[in-house]
Amino acid sequence: AQSVTQPDIHITVSEGASLELRCNYSYGATPYLFWYVQSPGQGLQLLLKYFSGDTLVQGIKGFEAEFKRSQSSFNLRKPSVHWSDAAEYFCAGRYSGAGSYQLTFGKGTKLSVIP
Amino acid sequence: NAGVTQTPKFQVLKTGQSMTLQCAQDMNHNSMYWYRQDPGMGLRLIYYSASEGTTDKGEVPNGYNVSRLNKREFSLRLESAAPSQTSVYFCASSEEGGNTIYFGEGSWLTVV
């Protein structure tokens, strides 16, 4: 069965430091992959998505993610974290085949930022 | 530009009561979804509607029913609420076979 795993439940970084959030997927074929961010009490906002092509994907708010087929990973990165980046981050994936609708989420990584 | 709108935002129910969560989208999307979010569990799909007139079960459908009222609206009903249904519920929509799913702001439901 398809799955998305986020190994880190909680990460704390200092403001200005670099950030990498891990995501691993398990699908029979290359899935579509997404990163969402959720601020407290809010819905989910799409940061970026990977469908095919260039394996380095740029998103909003200065985030990027790299798809690595050999490692079944889609890690989210940011060179310099801002205090406003404190939130919960969700990796998600779904089959790229026609008629596929189910998006599978990881359990999330909560990011805390030290001023 | 409202996107996906859910009502109510907060609700407290007693065990055994029924209620309906309403969802509407104004993006002319064909597909709509209901998810629940629980601490440490991420989001889990309850039901989805690939297009108007169709609905299908997701990962955790037990205790819920849905209605795709028209292209814009997709409601979620709890017939007899249980404490295990205390959760945050998110409605979402996408183009058919949609590559990007857009979420509402959530409905906080507590069953006591």
Q: What is the mean pLDDT of residues B68-79?
A: 96
Put simply, the answer to whether A34 touches B100 (Cβ < 8 Å) is yes
Secondary structure class of B85 (helix, strand, coil): helix
Residue A94 lies in domain:
3-114
CATH number at residue A45: 2.60.40.10
Query: Mind listing the pLDDT tens digit for each residue in A34-76?
Result: 999 999 888 899 999 998 888 999 999 999 999 999 999 999 9
- From chain A, pick out residues whose CB is under 8 angstroms from the CB of B98: 101
B27 touches chain A (CB under 8 A): no
Percent pLDDT > 70 in chain B is: 96
Query: Nearest-CA neighbor of B100 among A101, A42, A74?
Result: A101
Interface test with A, best of B7, B37, B102 (most A CBs within 10 A): B37
pLDDT per residue over A18-35, tens digit each? 999 999 998 877 788 999
Quote the minimal CA–CA distance from B18 to chain A in Å: 24
Quote the number of domains for chain A.
1
Query: A29 CB near a chain B CB, below 8 Å?
Result: no
Residues A63 and A78: their CA atoms lie apart, in Å, by 5
Q: Is B48 on the interface with A (CB under 8 A)?
A: yes
